[in-house]
Structure 1
Amino acid sequence: MPSLNQHSQESAQIGDSVDVSPVARLIRWFTANGGELSADVEIGFDASSGYHCRATRNLSSPVVAKCPLSLTLSHLNLDHTQSLVPHVESPLAKCIGRIPNNVLTYLLLVEQRLRTGGSVLKWQPYVACLPEPSAMTTPLWFGPEDMQCLAGTNLARETAVKLDRLTEEWNQANEVMESLDINTNVFSFDWFRWAATIISSRAFISTHIIPDKDTFPILFPVVDILNHSPTAKVEWDFHPFQDFTLKILNHGDVRPGDEVYNNYAPKQNDELLLGYGFCVADNPVEQFAIKMRLPPQIEEAARSMKMFEPVNVPFGMDTSFLAVDPNEEPEYLRPKGHPFGRYENRLPFFRAIPPRIVHMFFIQALMNLQIPPGNIQADSVPSRVVLETLLLTYEAIDNRSQTLPLAPKRQASFSNDKQKYATIYRDGQAKILHSIRAELKAVLDALRFHDGVPTRPVIISSTEALTRLSSDFPSRAEHLQSGLASQYGLDFSTWARYSAEIATLETGQQPAELSVWKLVLCLFLISYEHTEAAASPGRQAYSDWIEYLVEQTPLPTTATVDAEALEGFIRGWEQNRDQVERAYTWADEVVDKYAFPVVEEVEGEEVQRICMYLQLGPGDAGNGDWMFKGL
């Protein structure tokens, strides 16, 4: 096997003695050493596209470029025990087996760029056309102002992680080189970072060209010049141990002057920005990466109860996630119309969410509601469990959306390409996240009930409960209202005003509305148990609701509540002390177990209400289908 020096010396004799452009020198070197470039294209350069490929006339063949294995650059060129690619003379060869292969490739590329190690040429015409550090636009090269454009995104954290990992690789490589008496002065971190960026943005994987070795990054000169387009129709034609040909499948559609693109395969903007330094506006394959896990103790308990068995995965979801390590594969929220499709789920409002995440919140819902998993059939989940799963999912998405708010209309220009691409990525991520939040919120809004007597399971606030109490049991409601007015100083002339005001009050460490709910439920239970309830017109829905709550949370045999907490609110509590205390103890447990916050607009303001799920009677109200019918 000849050394790469011989190839380079031959190319130098072809035209380096005259003043030629870097592109001309690259093409001469490439073709003199077995590479092929279509006669119908040229390599150009401009500030926006960098080096790129453009058609000079109609393409007569699908083949744009072919690079032989002998011209590739990787750590393999340092290994003199192999004969697949030409050897390069370098002190870095001593590091084989002691430095990871990808890191060795970085170091070899730096050595070639800075013309060190005793070998000047080799890939010099190719390296001369690689972008300079000042042209790098991946987040690894972002300054503080550029990073502000990534605030709230997953990529902000991923960039820090990648930079830390790269720094660690550089430090470890320097330690090895110093131990082998290799001069490390030229391998600065900036040049190391440059080489890592070149590899991430231009290298291919070795699997298809050298299938009998573990995968490693490998550079194919000239072929890697073509820019990316997600709509380009290309074929990567690898001939193992020989060459790599890039073909344009629709070459007949390419016209003179058109840029000729490669297609790096469907990639989201986070991968494009972090690895390549650019983004695609309105990227059709864009998703939102999400990573959530149950707390270890809860997960361990769930596994002991066989909640991770396929038969216990609810909603008809695909169970393949159970066999995948959640730390290995990222999972994504998918917007409507995504080309990959949404996730299989019997309930449409969960189809944007990865099955693992839905399953996690389902387990958490059972824990919150204190329902033994053995009492639940995965193919017929009670509506209250479905709702709790929905609430937990919405809360997680809503909390995440607060850290990545939708941005106002953007300016037409940016300080640099880094900020432009970062903003494209950031706004695309926010758009996906908030669209899915809006989908889940629409379901909760459709369940929210405000007027009259409900005819199906609904979500109500204390406002609706007090209104119904006033209608069904006016004497009890009147006394409660006077007690609330005295306690909180509220004007009860309109319930809407009450809704806005009660939502802002706090007593101790909890919202005042929680206390109101406990009093209302206490009075509903007492009234239901008395003859007054039987004569009340239109009380069926709320009477059935109390029966449902008693079925879910049986009445205690003894009271544990401090009776003084009821003074001034419930008439006759002294005369019926035991009954009232028992009812309030039950109401206290029910509210702590079942109440949940819902943000809604009241008189033009967004306020957090404490709501309850009203189910019409004991027993299962179905399998959750009612939650989306009619939406």
Structure 2
Amino acid sequence: MEDIKALVDWSTDHGATLHPSVEVYDDPTTGFSFRVKPSSENPLPAWDQVVSLPTRLSLSYLDVIHAASSNPIFPAEFVSQTPPHVIGRFFLAKQYLLGRDSFWWPYIQALPQPADEDSWCLPPFWPTDDAELLEGTNVEVGLEKIRADVRKEHAAAAALLKQHGDEKDKEISMKLYQWAYCIFSSRSFKPSLVLAEEEQTRLPDGIGINDFSVLLPLFDIGNHDMTLDVRWELQQKPHNTCELRVGRSFQPGQQVFNNYSMKTNAELLLGYGFMIPPTEELHNDYTHVRKRTSSPSASEEYYISRRPMAHSSSLLGRYRQELTVELPEGKSIIGTFQHVQPDMVWDIFCTLCQPEERAQIMPSDAATLEEQEVARQRQFFSGDVKQGSQAHAYLEHTMGIIQHKVMQELERLEETEVELVDGQEGDLTRNQRLALEYRRRCRAVLENTLEAMGLEEEAA
């Protein structure tokens, strides 16, 4: 706890504040966390300020840019030829190497340390035997891409620093860069959400405000609760600060959470190293299915859900879907479509059947074109089309495509399945337990979806 005391003291000495009823403690499951002091006589009221941080304490690419003219941190050649998000990671690594000479040392020494790989290593950098357990799952492609990107980034940046940098720059190894990547991945914030407008405008030409991310010491202590309504409020007086406010009351002794935004367990595993366990009230297990084509403004993925998309516990599924289909009383979505994002279903159908043909085979007397399309969606999703008709043929074709995709994903999982012998489970590492649990979650998503399709076929 000395590390945390040093961080809190350093932060508050430089203008940060914690709510009088809030403290930082070491939770056995979540590590350093916020909670309402057990000794507090009152709960923490909803929307009270939990923590306030002057944004000048943030650590990011911006610090490199702002220091460039007076006291350059990296050589100009490196800064001009390296992406801003990579510069931010190298900057964090350099601050670590500076040790107590770094302004941010009280923050850095409270982070998971590079030598303790188990405390920070995300799945892309797991040992080979551990990472292989994620083969066949829908995070496999993401793992490979991250690994390849990080290797390429470090090689290019290290070559520039070898030629132009100082001795500390040349000490930033691949392992230290991986550590910095994981710290930023699991703890950082989008600048557009946590920095004042004047801070967002001081960027070189061609650099967007979200081309990099920022670390917020102390502010980043809050752990993730995706059901929580939170505000990251910016204040400009007496100085630029970012405040965490939470839309729920917490009792003495309870942990106080943040919300990292809506992320599936696949995204949380890759980017943060944990998953949300399923409960009756909430599940977060979704298989990501990549779109064949997508417009620049649209999502690149569809989602298949462990439970029906309309289920109250499918919070993220409903949040992410662009298309909402509301059926009349007495009608329900057919089984094949229940676990699948409606956008995926409708996009497949619209690829098979162009607008003119849709209007012909599923006529509607609604007043506007938009209302006519809504009426067709209701027909299609409920299966309310005439047997033997062209519309029914398209319905079966769409169902077949979805069923084939789900079976394909399940086959990939089964081809890479791992069989544990009796007694072996006790010898598994934390990474291996996490990977096997993720495999079980993936299987549950796919088998539940196929079961819903099978029930529909039995009823037909």
Q: Could you say which TM-score interval applies, normalised by the shorter chain?
A: 0.7 to 0.9
Q: Distance in 2 between matches of 1:178 and 1:46?
A: 42
CA RMSD after TM alignment? 3.4
Q: Is the 8 A contact 1:206 1:217 kept in 2?
A: yes
Kindly tell me the number of residue pairs found equivalent between the two proteins: 389
TM-score normalised by the chain length of structure 2: 0.74
User: SS in structure 2 opposite 1:207?
Assistant: helix
CA drift of 1:180 comes to: 2.3
Q: Distance in 2 between matches of 1:258 and 1:416?
A: 30
User: SS in structure 2 opposite 1:96?
Assistant: helix
Q: Is the 8 A contact 1:226 1:261 kept in 2?
A: yes
Instruction: Tell me: CA distance 1:374–1:74, structure 2 relative to 1, closer, same or farther (3 Å).
Output: closer
User: SS in structure 2 opposite 1:79?
Assistant: helix
User: SS in structure 2 opposite 1:250?
Assistant: coil
Instruction: Tell me: CA distance 1:127–1:356, structure 2 relative to 1, closer, same or farther (3 Å).
Output: same
Instruction: Tell me: CA distance 1:377–1:53, structure 2 relative to 1, closer, same or farther (3 Å).
Output: same
Q: Distance in 1 between matches of 2:102 and 2:347?
A: 57
* TM-superposition CA deviations, 1:16-42 (whole Å, max 9, x none): xxxx92222212211111111233233
Matches of residues 361-376 of structure 1 in structure 2 within 5 Å?
361-362=348-349
Q: Distance in 1 between matches of 2:53 and 2:304?
A: 39
Amino acid in the other structure paired with 1:416: T
Q: Is the 8 A contact 1:92 1:108 kept in 2?
A: no
CA drift of 1:398 comes to: 1.4
Matches of residues 463-612 of structure 1 in structure 2 within 5 Å?
none
User: SS in structure 2 opposite 1:264?
Assistant: coil
Amino acid in the other structure paired with 2:146: K
Report the counterpart of residue 191 of structure 1 in structure 2.
176
237, 240, 243: which is aligned to 2:241? 243
In structure 2, the gaps of 5 or more residues are 202-208, 328-332, 363-375, 377-384
User: SS in structure 2 opposite 1:246?
Assistant: strand
Q: Is the 8 A contact 2:24 2:34 kept in 1?
A: yes
CA drift of 1:364 comes to: 7.9
Larger radius of gyration: 1
Higher relative contact order (CA closer than 8 Å, sequence separation 6+): 2
Report the counterpart of residue 382 of structure 1 in structure 2.
391
* TM-superposition CA deviations, 1:408-436 (whole Å, max 9, x none): 99998673332333333332222122211
20, 31, 49: which is aligned to 1:63? 49
TM-score normalised by the chain length of structure 1: 0.55
Report the counterpart of residue 469 of structure 1 in structure 2.
none
User: SS in structure 2 opposite 1:293?
Assistant: coil
279, 289, 303: which is aligned to 1:332? 303
Q: Percent identity?
A: 23
Q: Distance in 1 between matches of 2:79 and 2:337?
A: 50
User: SS in structure 1 opposite 2:261?
Assistant: coil
Q: Distance in 1 between matches of 2:95 and 2:429?
A: 29
Instruction: Tell me: CA distance 1:355–1:231, structure 2 relative to 1, closer, same or farther (3 Å).
Output: closer
Matched, 1:169 2:156: no
Q: Distance in 2 between matches of 1:88 and 1:70?
A: 17
Q: Is the 8 A contact 2:403 2:450 kept in 1?
A: yes
13, 23, 47: which is aligned to 1:32? 13
Report the counterpart of residue 365 of structure 2 in structure 1.
none
CA drift of 1:82 comes to: 8.9
Q: Is the 8 A contact 2:75 2:164 kept in 1?
A: no
User: SS in structure 2 opposite 1:247?
Assistant: strand
Q: Distance in 2 between matches of 1:418 and 1:440?
A: 33
263, 267, 271: which is aligned to 2:267? 271
Amino acid in the other structure paired with 1:147: A
CA drift of 1:233 comes to: 4.4
Matched, 1:127 2:131: no
CA drift of 1:279 comes to: 1.0
183, 207, 213: which is aligned to 1:217? 213
423, 442, 460: which is aligned to 2:455? 442
Q: Is the 8 A contact 1:272 1:278 kept in 2?
A: yes
CA drift of 1:89 comes to: 5.1
Matched, 1:95 2:91: no
Amino acid in the other structure paired with 1:227: N
Instruction: Tell me: CA distance 1:63–1:365, structure 2 relative to 1, closer, same or farther (3 Å).
Output: closer
Q: Distance in 2 between matches of 1:125 and 1:65?
A: 17
Instruction: Tell me: CA distance 1:395–1:258, structure 2 relative to 1, closer, same or farther (3 Å).
Output: same
